[in-house]
Amino acid sequence: MVRNGSADDPIGKSGIAHFLEHLMFKGTAAHAQGEFSNVVAELGGQENAFTSFDYTAYFQRVPRAHLARMMEFEADRMTGLLLADEQVAPERDVVLEERRMRTDSDPSQQPSEAMQSALFAHHPYGLPIIGWEHEIAGLGREDALAYYRRFYTPENAALVVAGDVDVEEVRASPRPFTAKFPHAAPAPSACARRSRRCAPIASSASPTPRSSNPPPPRFTSCPPPAPARPARPRRSTCSPIFWAAAPPACSTAGW
């Protein structure tokens, strides 16, 4: 999982995080396009990827014995992605068609997208994850590589392993593949990553005749942190979900 999502898309390039997610399957110098997916299929496994507002996730579901092999593939494409113009342009058309199918042709999605944009008018969450159509059409190879170099680093990634595995074995598995990763700067905070949206954006527009005041900045400060979640009361032991054979004597001391 990479700690960036559509909320980190540069202004004017909405959809680049999702677009790069597609391009991450185009192969590296060590593994040709489609090899990763073919290996997962031959093992009887499953794979996929998805983009959210704050992260992009890539996952595989395989037998435990092949965990190290999956890590090798992921480590390779974390640093060795190869992109050619003949791969990028067709994939951009795929994303455009995905938008037309899932949003433009779906009457329920159009008001949902408009509402999201209105609710977060001055925040990155107002951008659709897939991007605006006219901005997707302008994305190219250099945009994808610049985004890849900026965010796809070990300091900005998280490895999640779930299943019948040994913790120490999992901890040791990535080391042979990550030892040669180039060192990058520590991952910035979410607010720092989105500083281009947190800082005032100068406007060249002249004031309207009705007012001598200049237009307000698009976004002047980072959103405040979410308030701490209040502690939930402890459930009484007389609740039926705690019964084993017979209900215990009811007590309210646990509340």
Give per-residue pLDDT as tens, 15-71.
999 999 999 999 999 999 999 999 999 999 999 999 999 999 999 999 999 998 999
Q: CA of 249: how far to CAs of 233, 236, 244, in Å?
A: 20, 11, 13
Active site residue 86: no
Q: How many residues does this entry show for the chain? A: 255
What's the average model confidence in pLDDT over 137-156?
93
Give the integer Cα–Cα distance in Å for 65 and 169: 11
SS3 17: helix
Q: Which of 21, 91, 113, 135 is catalytic?
A: 21
**What count of other Cβ atoms lies within 10 Å of the Cβ of residue 16?**
24
For the stretch 182-188, contacts whose Cβ atoms lie closer than 8 Å and that sit 24 or more positions apart, written own/partner, are: 182/79, 182/153, 184/153, 184/154, 184/155, 184/156, 185/155, 186/155, 187/3, 187/153, 187/155, 187/156
Amino acid at site 206: S
Residue 252 tokens, joined:
């309210």
pLDDT at 175: 72
**Whether residue 188 has pLDDT greater than 60:** no
pLDDT value of residue 229:
54
CA distance 117 to 127: 6
Quote the CA–CA distance of 31 and 100 in Å, as a whole number. Answer: 32
Task: Confirm if 15 and 3 have CB atoms less than 8 A apart.
Answer: no
CB proximity list for 18: less than 8 A, separation 6 or greater: 6, 51, 56, 95, 129, 130, 131
pTM of the predicted protein model: 0.72
Residue 199 pLDDT exceeds 70: no
CA-CA-CA-CA dihedral for 46, 49, 52, 54, to nearest 10: 100
Integer Cα distance of 207 and 16 in angstroms: 33
Instruction: Determine the pLDDT at residue 183.
Output: 59
End-to-end CA distance of the chain: 39
